[in-house]
Chains A and B, each alone.
Chain A
């Protein structure tokens, strides 16, 4: 009896909290399917969560009123470039720190550890100044290149590589395999979880990044989604249905990947605590 009661209380608490966490998302999806004028009118009623007579008109309007496809491509290209080149560059560096003997290694690694505590905000202003001097504002380069090398990512890989058994490589080294060969054919295949963690964390970070692209982009040509939705919100006339449809399309791909690879996501995020 006591157990059933405890379970009931737990479920009640979980249910109430789940409603609070899901309500904004449900409202967003439902609102995106409603005629614009009804979104705000029904926001305070239960109808906020149910789109009666749903239509995709708002989605069509987003494409008519903005260059959504361009913003989406920009986000995908920028984030994809950072993630893919970041995985390569940072994992190779981490391997050199974890397994190779070289002059200056400890000094460089301490530098990486020091840079890791610098949030991006501490360099935003001078980096912006430099980007302006070199005439790189409003380019993809300015949005990709500075963020490929990442101290946190290096440390994440390093922690994992250090934990791999040395025997894995010793045999291959005795067979005369070179360092690069060992990395790509032995280390990388054994380090899939950490590659997934690094990819997920860096993807989430840059898909949602707002401050930097807001600073360096000028027109819509190189604008990514987070900046685009903020400026779409200020574009008159204020049509909530369209804005919510924009939002749904912006988050849907990430949400879909998250729902499919849930366990990987959760594990990836939990892995960020390694350094703690």
Chain B
């Protein structure tokens, strides 16, 4: 019936439509990314009079024997390992509470989502005030109130043990709403008939949750965990603004070290090697996520 225009017919117009986007991705993503791979094997420094030469794996050997960088990798992984499960659990809890269909839950949903529209740099500055040292600081006073006077005031951001957890807390505050909204959409997509069938089988509230809700939420949960892991790896703004990696390297991250290498030491090649390490981390998580979601598809 309808005549599909031939191949050659549509190629010019398609290139016209896709051209600008493809040119942009090529110029500003692909080329820089390949450049990073290349630069990681050189000795390039901004403003250095030395000629640029290939140095093989030297940069990688350097960063992997640099205790500061290893510390930053460990901090980044710790941050992700704590924030991802905590934030996902909290978001799941919020989504379940909001989804119960009680009066006024729209207001609660709005409140939980609100921090998502806050720029992270603003959140970081506001939370510096919240973490103010001394018993008069908001966080100190709040914990003191909750523990009934058992708390001795801490300087959260200058305490080597508390600095990273403090940054975790505000990151969770800012990011949970995003996950909640995605999980909520997942919850609302579960067919009512599944719950009715479960109720007929005499399932209680917990069994419904365990055998209907959780399996049905598998994909959205996997998705939010994946996105949050990548976000956690990117941790930078909060650290740069609140602690500058301190105290005692307690809050340095891969991205923080990378930016430091560029700005404090002009070592573009070293920073490129760190970028490659960062990319491998991202790739690893992406691979795991793909594997898991494929397995999920086969199972269902």
Contacts and interface: CB of A to CB of B under 8 A. Distances in A.
Query: Are A and B part of the same complex?
Result: yes
B214 to A, nearest CB: 17
Given A11-B102, A233-B241, A276 B219 contact: yes
Interface of B: 2, 4-7, 10-11, 13-15, 17-18, 20-25, 27-33, 35-36, 39, 44, 46, 94, 97-98, 100, 102, 105, 107-130, 132, 135-138, 140-142, 173, 177-178, 181-182, 184-186, 219-220, 222-224, 226, 230, 233-234, 236-237, 240-241, 255, 258-259, 262-263, 268, 271-272, 274-275, 278-279, 282-283, 286, 293
Given A43-B129, A125-B262, A132-B46, A272 B14 contact: no
Nearest to B279: A122
Contacts of A240: 129
A115 B29 contact: yes
Interface string A4-47: 00010011011001101111110110010000000111011100
Main secondary structure of the interface of B (DSSP, over half): helix
Given A108-B22, A119-B282, A44 B272 contact: no
B119 A226 contact: yes
Interface stretch (A50-58, A60-68, A90-98, A188-196): A90-98
Given A44-B135, A210-B237, A269 B182 contact: yes
Nearest to A269: B181
A179 interface: yes
Contact of A229 (B114, B125, B222, B223): B125
Contact of B119 (A27, A44, A250, A269): A250
B241 A25 contact: no
Interface residues of A, number: 98
B222 to A, nearest CB: 7
Contacts of B271: 125
B112 A21 contact: yes
A5 to B, nearest CB: 13
Contact of B39 (A13, A129, A266): A129
Given A41-B136, A129-B39, 19 more contacts: A18-B108, A44-B135, A93-B17, A95-B17, A100-B13, A101-B14, A108-B22, A125-B262, A126-B31, A127-B28, A129-B44, A145-B28, A149-B25, A208-B119, A210-B240, A226-B122, A230-B241, A244-B126, A265-B113
A21 B275 contact: no
A101 B118 CA distance: 42
Given A125-B258, A229-B122, A92 B20 contact: yes
Contacts of B18: 92-93, 96-97, 108
Given A95-B17, A149-B22, A273-B223, A123 B173 contact: no
17 contacts: A13-B97, A18-B107, A43-B132, A43-B137, A92-B17, A96-B17, A101-B5, A103-B11, A115-B29, A122-B33, A126-B36, A154-B21, A180-B17, A230-B240, A247-B125, A272-B182, A276-B226
A215 B11 contact: no
A118 B33 contact: yes
Contacts of B13: 96, 100, 178-180
Interface string A178-221: 11100100000000000000000000100110110011000000
B36 A230 contact: no
A38 to B, nearest CB: 12
Contacts of A21: 111-112, 114-115, 173, 177
